Structure 1
Amino acid sequence: MNPEPVFVLRTMDDRPFIPLHWTERLHDDMLKRAELNYSELSERRTTRDFSDRDVDRRLIELAILSGSTAPNGAHLQPWTWVAIRNEELQIRLREAAEHEERKTYSERMPEAWSEVLTPLGTDAVKAHLTDAPWVVVLFKQKKRQRSNGEWGPTYYATESCGIAAGMFIQAVHNMGLVTLTHTPSPMGFLRELLERPRHEEAVLVMPIGYPAEDAMVPDIHRKTLDQVAVFFDEQS
């Protein structure tokens, strides 16, 4: 016999709940929206060639707010977005990043990594950090201060920040701007340069702006659905 289901009743001591706000859509509308979303995202490309055209700060704020809607471990929202539109600071950021990248490309990079980067044309020169009008650095918060004043861990901070970054990138693309995901290695210098506390760790650097008129991207292609997905579908 199957055991009787157990229902756990929430008490007044629990965090209050509110009704889910959800809009049901007709199937045809759902399909149309899904196809449009995929069509628009399929045009997204990582871009290293930026125009110096300015970008309204409100657009960056809305991209950050969009990224911050991401699901995250225990709703701790373990991220800090540092948005930079400051020529002097961007120069310092580029100099520090290129210092580490030169070591990576000349000393640290294993052959297997170099093998897959070569077709993409990357090198230690990171002009995008000064060419783009904005640079956003995403930090994950490894700890949080508890109500009793003690420091406790956050949970799934890396995964949470990864999801948030993806939603941020979609927002940037959706508004008509371009970006790229840059991970200088190691990234410890970013905490000091951007005056972040010890419990925060940089995970991603994203220059943002309009593409240069002569911007070029590698002639590469994405995997097909059959190459990336496995379905267990009893109705097919």
Structure 2
Amino acid sequence: MALLSALTPALAALLCVVIGFLFVKSKGSGVKSQAKNKDFRPWVDQDLQDNSNVLEKDDDDAEDYNEEEDIPHVPYSPPRYPEETMAMRSQDFLSLMSQRRSVRFISPEPVPREVIDNVIHTAGTAPSGAHTEPWTFVVVSDPETKHQIRLIVEEEEEVNYRKRMGDKWVQDLARLKTNWIKEYLDVAPYLILIFKQTYGILPNGKKKTHYYNEISVCISCGILLAALQNVGLVTVTSTPLNCGPQLRLLLKRPANEKLLMLLPVGYPASDATVPDLKRKPLDNIRVHI
């Protein structure tokens, strides 16, 4: 026992030396591995992080794929306007978009299919991460399919209002006189369901990374809203909570597509009304440094 007691401090000291050596070695190897990659940067912006890096690192089916090693560049020279014309055009567009409202009373009057195709094509001009264009716009005009969509949405929305959403959320929506009844899903001549493609499918069946897919699709949705306003059509932005999987199956969309937004589209009903809302003035939304 006496011998053990005498050795204990020595063993403890030796153990500390070993642990310190291992720590310094592991730290040094980490620095060396980072030094080898001069472009190493830790991920810092959690708001912009999506499943892109997860697919790249962890998915055995993912594969880097380039149709062309170098994308050719071509001259680009958009119209350049005199300052007076720029100011007038910007004011005209502001006036047009200031009239945009969320409209829940939509006319069943038919809308030319060409117009719908054009506004969706316009939405497809949005920028996207690495030009992956990770969007699918599903246009529904079939009455039976529209009704099936309404049944799915209303069932889930009633649960949302009664159980999932907090009292404050429900009270805020009550001011706008909105609830889980979505009659416009039957009435509107078109429903446009926007799906984000969480990854692409390559010709060889492998998965292609879609960088910032949700942000990219959100930008295209904004352009779509502007395009609809430009042709005199109305909609209400709908993000049907907990309906995505059912609607994806109903519309026979693949597993890599996730529902982001649902838009009923048409002319406003003759008796349509909207809440008398005011928008923030410029000084409340613009910071000029």
How many residue pairs get matched?
Answer: 221
Aligned to 2:191: 135
Aligned to 1:177: 233
What root-mean-square deviation, in Å, do the aligned CA atoms of Structure 1 and Structure 2 show?
1.3
What is the one-letter code of the residue matched to 1:218?
P
2:218 is the counterpart of 1:166 = no
Higher relative contact order (CA 8 A, sep 6+): 1
CA shift digits 1:115-173 (9 cap, x unpaired): 32121111010011011000000000001124654113211111111110110111111
Distance 1:139 1:13 in 2: 29
Distance 1:69 1:190 in 2: 26
Matches within 5 A, 1:188-199: 188-199=245-256
What is the one-letter code of the residue matched to 1:127?
E
What is the one-letter code of the residue matched to 2:241?
S
Could you tell me how far 1:111 is from its partner in structure 2? 2.3
Which of 214, 217, 221 aligns to 2:271? It is 214
Larger Rg: 2
Give me the TM-score of the superposition, normalised by structure 1. 0.91
What is the one-letter code of the residue matched to 2:274?
V
Aligned to 2:109: 53
Distance 1:97 1:193 in 2: 12
Distance 2:161 2:201 in 1: 39
Distance 1:123 1:64 in 2: 28
Structure 1: state its 5+ residue gaps: 1-11
Percent identical pairs in the alignment equals: 37
Structure 2: state its 5+ residue gaps: 1-67
Aligned to 1:29: 85
Aligned to 2:212: 156
CA shift digits 1:31-82 (9 cap, x unpaired): 0000000001001111000111000100100010010001111100000000
Aligned to 1:8: none
Which of 69, 72, 84 aligns to 1:16? It is 72
Residue range with higher mean Cα deviation, 127-136 or 113-122: 113-122
Which of 135, 151, 168 aligns to 1:112? It is 168
Aligned to 1:228: 285
